[in-house]
Amino acid sequence: VANKAQKPAPPPEAATSHPTYRIQQRFSVPFAYETVFTRDALDPDNAALVEVIARREPTRRHRILAVVDAGLAAAWPELSGWLTAYCDRHAQRLELIAAPTIIAGGEAAKNDPDVIARLHAVFHQHKLDRHSFVLIVGGGAVQDAAGFAAATAHRGIRTVRMPTTVLAQADSGVGVKNGINLFGSKNFVGTFVPPFAVINDGRFLERLATRDRVAGLAEAVKVALIRDASFFTALETAAPALAAFDRDATADVIQRCAELHLRHIATCGDPFELGSARPLDFGHWAAHKLETLTAHELRHGEAVAIGIVLDSRYSFLAGLLPEEDFERIHHVIGRLGLPRWHDALAIPGAGGRPLVLEGLDEFREHLGGDLTITLLRGIGQALDVHQMDGALIEKALGWMRAGQTTSPKP
Ligand SMILES: NC(=O)c1ccc[n+]([C@@H]2O[C@H](COP(=O)([O-])OP(=O)(O)OC[C@H]3O[C@@H](n4cnc5c(N)ncnc54)[C@H](O)[C@@H]3O)[C@@H](O)[C@H]2O)c1
Ligand SMILES: [Zn+2]
């Protein structure tokens, strides 16, 4: 009671009256890693993997633990034997310390924190140290989860990523982020850590489900739209071949997309996203919300395709993007076999407004600072804005709904 009656303490005297000593700390850390595009990376005659692993200490024997996507392991039962044969052949430089650790494929890897605990336990059991290698073989979700586990054990164990989906080879697998979902929020927990190296093996794509092959192309459309008009034209030309999953056309797109992504990280001046702008997340504010709203029934790439249509339509309605450019975007997404609508877009939220609009606020929260959304003022020309007009978003959604194609079926 007495405490309640007390007056608040007076403000401290002006800061100048306090002796102050400051030390300015400043250093920078150069990062360098190689992304190798190859086929049959686990053929013992293919030296790419052993070379990237041994690049810093060529005479040492390197300890390797593989973490493998369960979906990939089911599609490629040969994988474990290949790994053993590869490390046997290169036994002077590689030591496979255990059978691969298999973790759930797809978003399940990121939705269950026990996956991380289990990986930490395996790393501990096998005494991995900061110079050991975790070889992560799998889709983007497994890369994100196992990458996070490796980044947080001993404050960071080296990783070599072997992404095995179109999306992961073209986009997420070559980048610097990892993370898992928590509290129903995409990538709520995660770190920025560049990999030691990336090996993109086109062979793995051969047994990927059609739906996953197609979904990955959305990130190529995205990066073309914000960075490279000629790449977008190439995507239009190649769309029929890509939709039919022509091997060479797909390999070209993956390589070009990965190059644009890597160039952005190297030259944007903000590789660890300390600012609020995130052009590579064009179309993603709605996409992340849609993934959650559909309980991840929608693939990330599918959600991104829908998010691109929404933000492109919005850009047009806001008077930023010429209508013929919007038409080209809408057309190529359909031609690639990507979805342009999902019924979850129509789920009502507070005040009857579409629930997906909450994605804007969640996006801002995830980034911090002011809301920054990337829109388009042309194909290959991005533009940052700091607010979006809810009524105009609803108008864009109304247009999309009116012309809806069917939602993808699992
Ligand atoms: N870290 C980043 O910067 C970043 C960027 C974009 C996306 N992502 C994340 O990536 C995830 C999506 O990744 P994705 O599109 O690669 O899909 P995915 O990882 O969800 O995999 C899709 C399915 O394919 C299976 N699979 C993987 N490789 C296979 C193969 N070669 N053959 C047969 N089946 C195979 C998996 O088991 C899974 O069932 C999302 O969680 C998304 O948030 C991360
Ligand atoms: Zn993405």
Q: List the residue whose alpha carbon is closest to atom 22 of ligand 1.
A: 106
- C-alpha 141 to ligand 1 mean position (Å): 5
pLDDT score of 13: 59
CA proximity to 228, closest of 265, 264, 277, 192: 264
Residues in the chain: 410
Per-residue pLDDT band at 149 (split at 50, 70, 90): very high
**63 DSSP β-pair partners:** 95
Cα 61 to Cα 44, 53, 151, 197, 301: the distances in Å are 17, 10, 22, 17, 39
At 168, list the tokens: 């992961």
Among 103, 112, 115, 167, which residue has the most ligand 1 atoms within 8 Å of its CB, making it the best to mutate? 167
Across the range 352-379, mean pLDDT stands at: 91
Percent of the chain with pLDDT over 90: 87
Nearest 5°: the CA angle 267, 271, 275 is: 110
pLDDT over 70 (residue 268): yes
Ligand 1 atom 23, closest CA: 106
Let me know: does 116 contact 180? Beta carbons within 8 Å.
Answer: yes
d(C-alpha 395, C-alpha 54), whole Å: 55
Q: What is the pLDDT of residue 5?
A: 56
- The pLDDT tens digits for 171-216 are 999 999 999 999 988 899 999 999 999 999 999 999 999 999 999 9
Confidence band, pLDDT 50/70/90 cuts, at residue 9: confident
Select from 110, 51, 160, 136 the least CA-distant residue to 299. Answer: 110
Is a pLDDT exceeding 60 seen at residue 127? yes
Ligand 1: distance of its center to the CA of 338 in Å?
A: 16
Which residue minimizes the CA distance to atom 13 of ligand 1? Answer: 140
Measured CA to CA, the distance from residue 183 to residue 142 in angstroms comes to 19
**CA 70 to ligand 1: nearest atom:** 37
**Backbone phi and psi for residue 191, each to the nearest 5 degrees, phi listed first:** -140, 165
Percent of the chain with pLDDT over 70: 95
pLDDT in tens, 28-87: 999 999 999 999 999 999 999 999 999 999 999 999 999 999 999 999 999 999 999 999
Q: What ligand is nearest to the CA atom of residue 222?
A: 2
Ligand 1 centroid – CA 277 distance (Å): 25
Looking at per-residue pLDDT, the higher value among 331 and 14 belongs to 331
**Greatest mean pLDDT among 7-11, 174-178, 269-273:** 174-178
Three-class secondary structure of residue 207 per DSSP = helix
Residue nearest to atom 10 of ligand 1 (CA): 140
What pLDDT score does 364 carry? Answer: 87
**For residue 352, how far is its CA from the centre of ligand 1 (angstroms)?**
33
